[in-house]
Structure 1
Amino acid sequence: MKNSHQNMNHGHNNGDHQHQNHGHEHDQNKENHSGGHAEHHAHMAKDFLKRFWISIALTVPILILSHMIQELLGLGTALQFTGDTYISFVLSSIVFFYGGWPFLKGLYDELKERQPGMMTLIGVAITAAYAYSTLVVFGVEGQVFFWELATLVDIMLIGHYIEMKSVMSASRALEELAKLMPSEAHVVQEDESTKDVPLEDLQKGYKVLVKPGEKIPADGVVLEGKSSVNESLMTGESKPVSKQKDDEVIGGSINGEGSLTIVVDRTGEDSFLSQVITLVRQAQESKSRTQDLANRAAFWLTIIALGAGALTFFAWTFFTTENFVFALERTVTVMVIACPHALGLAVPLVVAVSTSLAAQNGFLIRNRTAFEEARNLGAIIFDKTGTLTHGEFGVTNVLTFNGFDDKEQLLSLAGSLEQNSEHPIARGIVKATDGLMKVEKFNSITGKGIEGRVDGKQIKVVSPGYLRENNIELPTEQYEQLSGQGKTVVFVIIDDQLQGAIALGDSIREDSREAIQSLHDMGIQCIMLTGDNQQTAAYVANELGLDDFFAEVLPEEKAAKIKEVQQRGLKVAMTGDGVNDAPALAQADVGIAIGAGSDVAVETGDIILTQSNPKDVASLIALAKATYKKMVQNLWWATGYNAFAIPLAAGVLYTYGIILSPALGAVLMSLSTVIVAINARFLKLER
């Protein structure tokens, strides 16, 4: 989910400009998730592109008709004819009013908000160029700036389009959360028949039948039945939870092998899922607004340009013998040159390159501002289940006792017996078994395990409680070691002899170890956040060498844990894959979603790891640092030439016969743009 476009009313801080021309104020970190946002921003991008193509088509004849361009190309007066300046005026007027409208509107909005930025700089430059050139066409002595006006509008339009396509589209996190719920529920009638009713018609006290494999439609309490329920997306608990009479169930979790009849306890806004939705929204809306590099550069450049322009006009008018027309021409030249074309591309080009690089390497940048913030991270908080671990309940250890030493045979015998059971433990063992054999005389030992004949042997797969009840000596040391790691242990009895044990749990990813080491090498603290029990969490934290961990954390507490770490003065990233991680992903300075996880986690994340590889987190931070460095370099290239171009354009060396003409200024601007474009292409991802 926390994403780049917060409101329909946003100052577009997620690129290098403020898109206030469309009257929408932008929060670059989080978003109010409205269904219309994606369409709105798609429309904006389409609008910029349409204006660009129309403007570029009109720019071609404007360039051909420009006397300055003709002179630069050595064409003399060959292409000049009576009325050519009037045609240029008409074409430029269309470019100014149609192509330049977003910037003119942005100029108005920024000045209204008293926050001059890129829009002010562009708006003032094109207005000055157009107004002065129009005066020249209709009789005032001087040079027209129509071609500079047209190319400036073209560059800024395409720069904004590139930027808009590079930043994330509107987040759909809340819609994805809602999709977790089924559309209908099987309500049990008085005659014990069932009737399917829409979810919104459910009320507290209704009895609902949940069939095997179905999603539970509402929070409630089990009245009848027994089953295991997968709550991993909701609570972070890695293994299915057994449910029977009087146990609570959560709407959106998935029922396992048995049927359950529940009585609805909470619906609508009171439900667990709705509370998660509220937490996501609150965390997203509470993010502070910041200005990015290009906006700060544009702000100061606007102040400098306006000040230099006013000073130039004042100085030439009152302290020299030059006429008003000369003073006006110098002023307009300063205003046009002070707005470098390259500034419109300095950040968007780097964004486009870094976004492409990231995608090629398995992660998608959805919120560029948060991505840039990744360079300053002091701590990364990982969800355990599905992020640091595989998130699957499976066999982790096979032990043999009493002279039996064939682990594969032990697993094969147990797996063959378990193929007749739908219990999560059974599914985990069967999945780890190759070559299942036929089972005879299968029988369930109520509450303690199962038994049957496999390959001519009497096999039992039982719980520790069965051993105690039947006075079979429990291998205490091995059992306590495994159970201390949060694993479930079952024992295998072959022909009444205890021959082995099988431990099941959530195994640690090998990639996690390398990721933690890489992050430690970068000086970043690594912390784990999980809903799992203290023993399991401590085991995983110790195995990976984590700096800290939080265990048994409820979903509504996760965002608070992020805040707790942030209060240590650290910039915090959260990496997770479940619904229960959504509020924490939203609260973090940078939310990193594992792509193989739930849709809502992916929609809430600022960056998506499509390959579900924790090592990509370290690569991501390295790319963020490199991207920021390139942005700074480009902004220096884009604005640096103003240090000597503006004074020369203002005429400080006029007495020595040195003055910067608009044509030469245009060449410098073009050179700056080329340098910025080439520099952006040199961005590389160090892995």
Structure 2
Amino acid sequence: MNHNHHSSHEKHQNNSSNHDHSQHGHDHHGDMVKEFRNKFFLTLVITVPILLLSPMIQHFLGVDWRFSGDIYILAALATFVYLYGGWPFLRGAYDEWRQREPGMMTLIAMATSIAFFYSIAVVLGFDGDELFWELATLVLIMLLGHWIEMRSVNNASKALESLAELMPNTAYRMLENGDTEEVEIDQLQQGDYVLVKPGEKMPLDGKIIKGKSQVDESMLTGESAPVTKSEGDEVIGGAINKEGSLTIEVEKMMQDSYLSQVIEMVKNSQKTKSRTQDFTNRAAKWLFYIALIAGLTTFVVWIILGATADMAIQRTVTVMVITCPHALGLAAPLVISVSTALSARHGLLIRNRTQFENARNINAVIFDKTGTLTKGEFGVTDLQTFSSTSEDDVLRYAATIERESEHPIATGIVKEASDRQLELLELTNFNSITGVGIEGDINGKNVKVVSPGFIRDKAIQFDEQHYEEWSAQGKTVVFLLVDEELVGAIALADQIKDSSHLAIERLHDKNIKAIMLTGDNEKVAHYVAEQIGIDEVYAEVLPDQKAEKVKEIQSHGMIVAMTGDGINDAPALSTADVGIAVGAGTDIAMDSADIVLVDSDPKDILSIFSLSKRTYNKLVQNLIWATGYNIFAIPLAAGVLAPWGIILSPAVGAILMSLSTIIVAVNAQLLYKFKPD
């Protein structure tokens, strides 16, 4: 994606229909934000004279600024507010009626329309008090609320899209003769090799073919510390190369890149309705009917009690105007938009909002082992030397031979030698010994890296006790022979992620059970489980049995989150109450999950639970504030306390309405103070 915005944006739109589409969607959303902002400010300007000209407000303030014809100026200004500021709500109400689903927009349109037409009737001679000021403040507050809400949602997308804009414009493509040429990002193809120098950004997603460096992925994954990357490691487009030069093989084009998927996921998550949103929409629908019934009941009761028609109509209008749940309409969307932005900031991508809200109730987390709790790559765990050979020499010999092999064990040994900064030796006559190992000549000596079976067949003596201990832990052991003499043993295992132990510890602090579900063998699974404190282990489970195991755990009354990264985890992720995919996993695992951990870090699961709980608490608080206002205001507006001389004046009703709306908006913003576990 080119981001020399002015010069290349047009060209990029032609090259990528995908980007063009998302850009169009974003522009549309941005236009709506501008529309609500402009309407809010112009309505605010007009509302000030409406308030100053309103007889009821003047009476409330104890002043008299009346003059001849002032009521007609007031009516003209209010008409402008009703038609200009109130238009989005009138249009929304029309859409709701067309779908036969009266809801929030219908309520707002009903309240503003009743206030407007009743007030026009008063201007034309009907006996009563005009409510133009009520109409203006109601429209103003709803415009403000919708503007805040849409801006919050827009900002979450914009924050991610701004990352895409930070992508470099050009890259250095490697040529066959070893030289480089500077090309536009759009010209790169899958499989191209690019050179990324220190301080430069990765042009696209790819794999390191040559070099080692510290890579800063903080803007993409939330991981603050730079990550060490070397040959074979994946890099994300937009990440910053801090130290050494890297040669990258391009694996994904911009439209398929990690960053594009993230942006798309966040947009989709904003479109999905949560259970709480559904609840507020249903509540708005019922409040619409309640408003009609309450208004009709108020009118009938006042007439029965002998009140004048004017008095009964005034009470009815006040009830129907006050029933409009401004705060209720904002309670869920504001909190949800803030939590979406927060989630992205903390490396969590929410694909299903309802399941995210359910995450607060989780009492068991099932982990896949490989790639989730472990790195999914072999690493050297133990080294034993025989005779006088040093550990470094054992490793140097083994790595020199294994460098020629592509086996995962070979990769682990070569990586360990690299981490220890050992210089490898010259190898000749490399040969694979079928089924048992590899050999070659180093400095005139025959060197073999072989399996335990080979050692036993040759009746070579070795440390049986150590070997049995390592085998019991599920480790793979290879032996090093120099001129047929045993000089060392190397044990390797899938390396446990540094954060796995901490993640399990914190889950236990929250009384959440940690379960491992893996296709790996019993020994390996139990060794890893013991190392990090897993409560239950299900090992040697076939891919098609994983979903059944999840159901079995659920049948014990557990509310289960499943965390995995592979294709074989997809059915289990879908079956669990909450499916969590680690970001480094396969596309199908991510598609089956409700939440994606961008950074593939098990301890980020804790952030899901705490953010889910905090979000839910804020939603409940906002719903209480919002509905509390209606429960309190409607009976007072109807005149329940009239026998004791207490009647809620429209002015006080408006103050209560404004107060509850402001509290809801401020309370939602307080979610930004969230600190992950």
Same fold per TM (> 0.5)?
yes
- Distance change in 2, residues 1:360/1:411 (3 Å): same
Partner of 2:260: none
Distance 2:152 2:529 in 1: 40
Give the CA deviation at 1:627. 2.2
SS class of match (1:422): coil
Partner of 2:358: 373
Partner of 1:318: 304
- Residue among 412, 418, 429 paired with 2:413: 429
SS class of match (1:580): helix
Distance 2:344 2:391 in 1: 43
The letter of the residue matching 2:348 is F
Distance 1:543 1:308 in 2: 64
- Distance change in 2, residues 1:163/1:451 (3 Å): same
Partner of 1:574: 562
- Distance change in 2, residues 1:535/1:137 (3 Å): farther
Give the CA deviation at 1:415. 0.7
SS class of match (1:591): strand
Moved more, 295-304 or 355-364: 295-304
Partner of 2:4: none
Equivalent runs, 1:646-661 vs 2, <5 Å:
646-661=634-649
The letter of the residue matching 1:321 is A
- Distance change in 2, residues 1:576/1:333 (3 Å): same
Partner of 1:489: 477
Equivalent runs, 1:100-499 vs 2, <5 Å:
100-106=90-96, 109=99, 112=100, 118-119=104-105, 121-136=107-122, 139-142=125-128, 143-145=130-132, 146-155=135-144, 157-158=146-147, 161=150, 165=154, 290=275, 292=277, 294-295=280-281, 298=284, 301-302=287-288, 304-323=290-309, 325-401=310-386, 403-404=387-388, 406-433=390-417, 434-447=421-434, 448-455=436-443, 457-473=445-461, 475-499=463-487
Partner of 1:49: 33
Give the CA deviation at 1:550. 3.0
Q: Deviations over 1:3-56 (max 9, x none)?
A: xxxxxxxxxxxxxxxxxxxxxxxxxxxxxxx99997998688457535524532
SS class of match (1:614): coil
More helix by share: 2
Distance 1:633 1:535 in 2: 49
Q: Percent identity?
A: 47
Moved more, 61-70 or 558-567: 61-70
- Distance change in 2, residues 1:38/1:308 (3 Å): farther
Distance 1:58 1:296 in 2: 32
SS class of match (2:86): helix
- Distance change in 2, residues 1:422/1:581 (3 Å): same
Distance 2:369 2:24 in 1: 37
SS class of match (2:376): strand
- Distance change in 2, residues 1:152/1:107 (3 Å): farther
Distance 2:335 2:401 in 1: 59
Q: Are residue 515 (structure 1) and residue 503 (structure 2) matched?
A: yes
Distance 2:589 2:120 in 1: 55
The letter of the residue matching 1:86 is A
SS class of match (1:100): helix
Give the CA deviation at 1:603. 4.6
Partner of 2:218: none
- Distance change in 2, residues 1:88/1:289 (3 Å): closer
Q: Deviations over 1:285-335 (max 9, x none)?
A: xx9995555346546645544443232122123322222x33222222112
Distance 1:428 1:154 in 2: 60
CA contact (8 A) 2:149 2:337 kept: no
The letter of the residue matching 2:476 is T
CA RMSD of aligned residues (A): 3.7
Partner of 2:219: none
- Distance change in 2, residues 1:590/1:658 (3 Å): same
Distance 1:38 1:80 in 2: 50
Distance 1:625 1:473 in 2: 59
Give the CA deviation at 1:94. 3.8
Distance 1:435 1:86 in 2: 85
Distance 2:106 2:549 in 1: 42
- Distance change in 2, residues 1:623/1:667 (3 Å): same
SS class of match (1:659): coil
CA contact (8 A) 1:168 1:366 kept: no
- Residue among 488, 494, 517 paired with 1:506: 494
Give the CA deviation at 1:391. 1.7
Give the CA deviation at 1:138. 5.1
Give the CA deviation at 1:147. 0.6
- Distance change in 2, residues 1:540/1:616 (3 Å): same
The letter of the residue matching 1:414 is A
Give the CA deviation at 1:372. 1.7
Partner of 1:27: none
Q: Are residue 672 (structure 1) and residue 656 (structure 2) matched?
A: no
Q: Deviations over 1:455-487 (max 9, x none)?
A: 564321112232233222354443344334443
Give the CA deviation at 1:611. 2.9
Moved more, 366-375 or 595-604: 595-604
- Distance change in 2, residues 1:440/1:594 (3 Å): closer
- Distance change in 2, residues 1:41/1:380 (3 Å): farther
Moved more, 293-302 or 97-106: 293-302
Partner of 2:266: none
Q: Deviations over 1:260-296 (max 9, x none)?
A: xxxxxxxxxxxxxxxxxxxxxxxx9xx9995555346
Partner of 1:281: none
CA contact (8 A) 1:341 1:673 kept: yes
Partner of 2:547: 559
CA contact (8 A) 1:462 1:490 kept: yes
Give the CA deviation at 1:514. 1.6
CA contact (8 A) 1:513 1:544 kept: yes
Q: Are residue 628 (structure 1) and residue 613 (structure 2) matched?
A: no
SS class of match (1:641): helix
The letter of the residue matching 2:406 is E
Give the CA deviation at 1:346. 2.2
Moved more, 74-83 or 54-63: 74-83
The letter of the residue matching 1:437 is L
Distance 1:543 1:299 in 2: 54
Partner of 1:525: 513
Give the CA deviation at 1:404. 4.3
Q: Which structure 1 segments of 5+ residues have no match?
A: 1-33, 170-212, 215-239, 241-283
Distance 2:519 2:22 in 1: 33
Give the CA deviation at 1:493. 0.9
SS class of match (1:432): helix
Distance 2:546 2:625 in 1: 43
Moved more, 626-635 or 53-62: 53-62
CA contact (8 A) 1:107 1:119 kept: no
Q: Deviations over 1:312-370 (max 9, x none)?
A: 122123322222x3322222211222223222222233334434444443334343322
Distance 1:45 1:555 in 2: 42
